[in-house]
Amino acid sequence: MLNENTNEEIIDELKKIVKQKGLKYTEQREIVLSILLHAKEHLTAEEVYNEIKKRYSDSNIGIATVYRALSFLEEVDLIASITFGTDGKKYETNSKSHHDHLICTSCGKIIEFMDDEIEKRQDKIAKKNKFKISSHSMQLYGICEACQE
């Protein structure tokens, strides 16, 4: 995970990864990553595509390219996704510090949270079971306050 790096450092990391893999660097991947770096919330592929059309109107990036770029960026651990079953995925960058998610199953709202007690409890459980945690993701599903009304 890339904790609290600047956007420029993350773009540089993308360039380094592409070079290491012997792939051609494409502006499309950088644009998709940039959209997510500037997003205030988790975005679907379609929302990323719509943002590209808005911010990069001269670009001819198609939705298929967006899906391929998202897949690649997730594969190389620059972004992460939350799956919504048949409703697809929402994406965010891995540039933020660790956090977990509350996900509304009614409207799809995602609330990020961090709880030191939960983190300590997970470590304690792992230690008790002689298990070394390399990473984790917690997603709690339910109904948000607005949808409860």
Could you give the CA distance from residue 36 to residue 50 in angstroms, rounded to a whole number? 12
Is the pLDDT score of 9 beyond 70?
Answer: yes
Helix (H) or strand (E) holding 118: helix 116-128
β-pairing, 139-142 with 100-104?
parallel
**Per-residue pLDDT at 5:** 60
pLDDT at 53: 95
Is 38 one of the annotated binding-site residues?
Answer: no
pLDDT at 1: 40
Q: Is 100 annotated as a binding residue?
A: yes
Q: How far is CA 28 from the centre of its chain?
A: 17
145 is in an annotated binding site: no
47 confidence band (pLDDT: 50, 70, 90): very high
Half-sphere exposure of 141 (CA within 13 A, CB side): 7
**How many angstroms separate the CA atoms of 112 and 88, rounded?**
19
pTM above 0.85? Answer: no
